[in-house]
Amino acid sequence: MFSRPAIIKLSIVAALVFASLGISPRSTAQGLQQQLESTYALTKPTDDKSDIVTAGAVLILQKDKIIMYAISNQVLPQNTYKAGKLSEGAFGVHDNVQKFGSFIGHPPPSQAQTQSRHFVTGEKFWVTGIAVQSDGVVFTLFSDPYSDVRYQCTLKFVYPKGAAPSTDDVLKTVAEVFKVQQDDSAKSDDKGNQQQQSAAGQAPAADAAPGPWAGPRAACPPRVCESRRHNCRPDRIAWSPVRRGSATTKLPAVPASDRPWRDSLVSRARPG
């Protein structure tokens, strides 16, 4: 165990090192605090914690498991994460003892009973507070209602013994336990943009799709109609009755652009 003079000397050396680097422990902690709150946006609950005023990031648990108490309990159970493992600590032991007493027929007194819930990998909750301490970082967690009951707890990421880890190392450690859920509204916006782009890409093809018959009129078979009404045209022009070999063929009025086609048909109908 270090003596008091040795601790004072180590403190002076640490202060000199930080001063030579142009940083201080306080500024380092503030920078880490800002990084964490930027990555894990805080949620603001109501005063009685029955509802949420401002929603922040939704965290998805990546490891088993943590224990939470109902908000009616004034005590927040503290879970810890150290060396890659989650631990419920004494609060988990208390919960197991309480369950064991109920199992053997000797439940604890009603005033000693605590309504708790274990959260496992894949379950989601909110973060309402982040505190950077000298020996670790503490997250305060808050759940959605389960059977009309919300739960809360704290989770402390304990620093390894020795010097405090860098900001990047702390962020990596927290990311081992928490994953931020992607915003659903952003997903829907991306999907809508993709649909609009897809529709825009298909628009020219739709415009180029063939419509009603609009080909050259000369494609009509070169023959004279002998029936009283013969629809030799797709647009069903009714022809007047004619006789083969007649010098004049009575035709309906047609636009000037179609007259060459009509004249060619009449010339073919004339006897040669």
Q: pLDDT of 75-87, one tens digit each?
A: 899 999 999 999 9
Q: Does 175 lie in the same domain as 49?
A: yes
Q: How confident is the model at residue 212 (pLDDT cuts 50, 70, 90)?
A: low
Q: Which DSSP category does 83 fall into?
A: T
Same domain, yes or no: 148 and 272: no
Same domain, 222 and 110: no
Please report which confidence band the pLDDT of residue 108 belongs to, taking 50, 70 and 90 as the band edges.
very low
Task: Decide if 212 is inside a domain.
Answer: no
Q: Are residues 267 and 222 in the same domain?
A: yes
pLDDT computed for residue 162 by the predictor? 81
Grade residue 114 by pLDDT with cuts at 50, 70 and 90: confident
Q: What is the number of structural domains in the chain?
A: 2
Q: Is 201 a domain residue? A: no
Q: Which two tokens stand for residue 128?
A: 């309402």
Calculate the average pLDDT of the chain: 74
Tell me the H-state helices in the chain. Answer: 4-21, 25-39, 89-103, 167-175, 184-207, 259-269
- Per-residue pLDDT tens over the stretch 89-106: 766 555 555 554 444 454
Does residue 224 contact residue 244 with C-beta atoms inside 8 Å?
A: yes
Is 175 inside a domain boundary?
yes
Give Cβ neighbours of residue 52 (< 8 Å, ≥ 6 apart). Answer: 43, 44, 45, 46, 126
Pairing relationship of beta strands 66-70 and 136-142 according to DSSP bridges: unpaired
Could you tell me if residue 7 is inside a domain?
A: no
Share of residues in the chain with pLDDT > 90 (%): 42
* pLDDT band, residue 207 (cuts 50/70/90): low
Tell me how far apart the alpha carbons of residues 34 and 132 are, in angstroms, rounded to a whole number.
10
168 in a domain, yes or no?
yes
Query: Structural domain of residue 234, as residue ranges?
Result: 217-272
Predicted local distance difference test score (pLDDT) of residue 163: 77
Please tell me which residue, 25 or 128, carries the higher pLDDT value: 128
The number of helices, as runs of H, and strands, as runs of E, in the chain is 6, 11
Domain ends where: 127, 158, 183?
A: 183
Residues 236 and 139 in one domain: no
Both 226 and 176 in a single domain? no
Question: Do 221 and 179 fall into the same domain?
Answer: no
**Model confidence at 166: pLDDT above 50:** yes
What's the mean pLDDT in 31-54?
96
In whole angstroms, give the CA distance from residue 75 to residue 70.
9
Q: In this predicted structure, which of 35-39, 59-63, 207-211 has the lowest mean pLDDT? A: 207-211
The pLDDT, as a whole number, for residue 19 is: 45
Mark whether 35 and 164 lie in a shared domain.
yes
Q: Does residue 18 lie within any of the structural domains?
A: no
179 plus 65 within the same structural domain: yes
* 87-101, 112-126, 171-185, 233-247: segment of lowest average pLDDT: 233-247
- Same-domain status, 39 and 174: yes
Say if residue 173 is in the same domain as residue 99: yes
Query: What amino acid occupies position 180?
Result: V
Domain membership of residue 271 (yes or no) is yes
Residue 215 reports pLDDT greater than 70: no
Share of the chain above pLDDT 70, in %: 49
- Mark whether 179 and 223 lie in a shared domain: no
